[in-house]
Amino acid sequence: MADVIEEADDRLVIRKLIPASREEVFAAWSDPQSIRHWMCPGDVILAEAQLDFRVGGRFRILMKGEREDYEHTGTYQEIEPPSRLSFTWISKGTDFKTTLVTVELFEREGATELTLTHERFPSADRMRHHLRGWGQIADHLAQHLQKNHFDTNAQSVRTN
């Protein structure tokens, strides 16, 4: 479970230890095929991502839910592989206001500590909604990378 390390009306910070390298975690944020599997909080069953992964590039992520779809758009502000990524985040969940997400990745004894900061929320209610969502997304990302790591290792054992 992702840890909440800060919660304020207009800002949240979560942390998650992921059993993968920083390069693998960073790559997952830049790969639309990867995002489709792990950016799925709540009742979202699949995400579609269109990414122009460069500073100033735009993205669109459509989270497909059981009852409704959730569109998120933004622009990449910083891209520093494999340690930092920052982008704006605009959606119905932010009242279509521009918020800012920063993902920082730190090496931790063979794993990666993901620290995600989301700030500039229009209200405490909007922040709380995203707190749950980002926590679930961090958990799904860790599961996705662990599964892919296991699948890759299993394939290499079979071919050797």
pTM exceeds 0.95: no
Can you name the residues that pair with 117 across neighbouring β-strands? 13, 102
Q: Is 62 left (phi over 0), alpha (psi -120 to 50) or beta?
A: beta
Residue 135's contacts (CB-CB under 8 Å, 6 or more residues apart) are: 1, 2, 4, 14
* CATH class of the structural domain 3-149: alpha beta
- Alpha-carbon distance 97 to 91, whole Å? 7
- Residue 3 is predicted with a pLDDT of 80
- Residue 10 is predicted with a pLDDT of 92
| Tens of pLDDT, residues 48-90 | 999 999 999 999 999 999 999 999 999 999 999 999 999 999 9
| Tens of pLDDT, residues 23-43 | 999 999 999 999 999 999 999
Q: CA nearest 138: which of 70, 64, 39, 54? A: 39
State the residue for tokens 């459509």: 62
> What percent of the chain shows pLDDT beyond 70?
92
- Residue 149 is predicted with a pLDDT of 62
The answer on pLDDT for 136 being more than 60 is yes
Q: Are 99 and 121 in contact (CB under 8 A)?
A: yes
The residue extents of the domains of the chain are 3-149
- Residue 115 is predicted with a pLDDT of 97
